[in-house]
Amino acid sequence: MNIFVFGIDGASPDLVNRWIGQGHLPNLEKISRSGISGKLKSTFPPLTGPAWSSFQTGVNPGKHGVYNWLDTSSSYEGKVINSNSIRTKTVWSLISTYGGRVGLLSLPVTYPPEKVNGFIVPGFLTPENASQRSHPKDLMRELEDSFPEFDHYVREYMGGSKKEWVGYLKRAAASRGKASRYLVKRHLFSSGSESDNNLFMAHYFATDLVQHFLWDEVTEDWDPRLDVFKQVDEEIGNTMEIAPDNSVFLIVSDHGFGPIDRIFNVNNWLRKEGYLTLEKSAKTLMKQTLSRLGLNQHRLKPLGEKIYPIVKNLGLVSGSIINASSHPALKAFFLSDRDIDWSATAAYSKSDIGHVRLNIAGRESQGELEGADVNRLTGEIKEKLKEVRIADTDQKLAEWVKTKEELYCGPYLKDAPDIMFNSLKQNTLGFGAAMFLSDELFNTPFKPGNHRRNGVLMATGSGVGSGNVNAEIMDIAPTLLNLFSFPIPEQMDGEVIRAISSSEPRYSRPEDFYRSREIREVPEDSRKKLENLGYL
């Protein structure tokens, strides 16, 4: 059995199906027509980090411990996640244990790479100066020698010509396609390393970036999103051509995409409701006054957009314009998490999407809340969030508000955000970045597009059924194991998608399923990547 998985970051069922209907994506069309096609429900929050972590483990975030881009279990500042943050066995290590071969290209949250039977070239959040950039160690150098344009990263939009940036995204997707075919031929099916069970997965990130930055740039003549999707479709088709006859092909995305009309500033709301208190220092009071007078990041953004290209050309700043609006250096001038009086704060929010954390004793470094207070405040904030209306409308902000116990289960539940709410249906991003942005509850967004809960699922090939099939992102890992006839750990939450793998599943109960991994400090440049994307 040979399995090929293509991860298209942020692909939405509605957009992809529309483009298929218009004949723009012939390879995805072939896959969906000959096999199954439907929605793949993501984690909440539908963020690349936790979503691909659930994909790799078959469990909900309460069991793998990744809830966000930042692991805030040891400090308010948090540490950028990496593969060591995933505290559950991955499907890659299980497949390796059972004698299968695994080859991964550019999947997020796979750095540092596990020592699988096969290879891992990690994706997004791999530090540029890392000593172990791939497994085996020399593989990354070999790839760079063969494809000088290959990079762990796909660069975010940094200003300048949008057409040129889209051209770059297409080249980045093409180089991942070429690298895929090289790796499959040379390192998965090469002589001396044959296995009966081989899995190859390639991840395309350009699709996520183009939607974040250029969602609102679609005109009658040009849809930048489609340009990138067409290139990815072509790469998938070309890679499928070199696959052996008895192969199964899966198309998966970690979440969908949609327009964002406004930001709901969670920390401003918590402050207005009295759950979050600012320092009384002269400096913080001054920042507060300036913010009220309009000297805040939000109001200054249009001015910043004019000034930014000039100072960038002068070499005074680097990174994207979004980075400039949330840069740590700006915390000296604008209200940020540095101005929070933690000893007098009961609740706060960190980076998107839609959550509130309580300041709990024993978990947060300056947490004061205990026992009954935690329960009382959880209930109180949950009820208040349900009643929040979008500014100047009587529309409710949140489609739903849930506690962590209602969303997750598992040994790492205590690290989860305590209350979560989904405002994406209202095209609103619940945002709790490090900066306060303004004095308002609602602002216009910095990026025109953001995530939605439903991604795409398609499959075709040996033994795969047909028709419309919906599943959850946690279902992929047990399905891959079942396709190889390997036992599935009972601890996995996902279920085998029987339309993809119809054989009766076998189960096991590995004792080392939950593994404790040290979270090593990652170099600063991973944090910078997230700042460029406006995540922190």
- Which residues make up the interface to Zn ion (CB under 5 A)? 9-10, 48, 208, 254
How far apart are CB 46 and Zn ion at their closest, in Å?
8
Q: Which is nearer to Zn ion, 195 or 253 (CB)?
A: 253
**Rounded Cα distance, 391 and 269, in Å:** 12
Tokens, residue 184: 């499959």
How far, in Å, CA of 170 to CA of 147, rounded? 15
Amino acid letter for position 317: V
Query: CB-wise, 109 or 263, nearer to Zn ion?
Result: 109
Rounded Cα gap, residues 288 and 295, in angstroms: 9
Angle, alpha carbons 240-242-248 (nearest 5°) = 45
Question: Smallest Cα–Cα separation from 417: which of 270, 278, 288?
Answer: 270
Shortest Cβ 60–Zn ion spacing (Å): 17
Minimal distance, residue 177 CB to Zn ion, in Å: 19
Structure tokens at 316: 């005074």
Task: Report DSSP letters for 179-248, one per residue.
Answer: HHHHHIIIIIS-TT---S-EEEEEEE-HHHHHHHHHGGG--SS--HHHHHHHHHHHHHHHHHHTS-TTEE
Task: Spell out the residues 6+ positions from residue 213 whose beta carbon is closer than 8 angstroms to its own.
Answer: 156, 157, 165, 447, 448, 449
Residue 205 vs 275, nearer CB to Zn ion: 205
Closer of 254 and 439 to Zn ion (Cβ): 254
Please, which residue, 108 or 478, has the CB nearer to Zn ion? 108
Closest approach, Cβ 283 to Zn ion, in A, equals: 37
Give least dist CB 9 to Zn ion, A. Answer: 4
Instruction: Give whichever of 9 and 415 is closer to Zn ion, judged by the CB atom.
Output: 9
Considering the complex, what minimum distance in angstroms separates the CB of residue 181 from Zn ion? 24
> Measured from the CB of residue 212, what is the shortest distance to Zn ion in angstroms?
9
* Residue number with the smallest Cβ distance to Zn ion: 48
- The Cα 100–Cα 116 span in angstroms is 10
Q: Return the number of the residue (210 or 496) whose C-beta is nearest Zn ion.
A: 210
Q: How far is the CB of 449 from Zn ion (least distance, A)?
A: 12
Minimum distance, C-beta of residue 455 to Zn ion, in the bound complex (Å): 8
6 vs 486 by CB, closer to Zn ion: 6
Query: Computed over its alpha carbons, how large is the radius of gyration of the chain?
Result: 23
Secondary structure E strands in 396-461: 400-403, 419-422, 428-431, 442-443, 449-452, 454-461
Closer CB to Zn ion, 8 or 464, in the complex: 8
Give me the helices (H) in 10-138, please: 13-21, 26-34, 48-57, 61-64, 91-97
Cβ neighbours, 10 Å, residue 27: 22
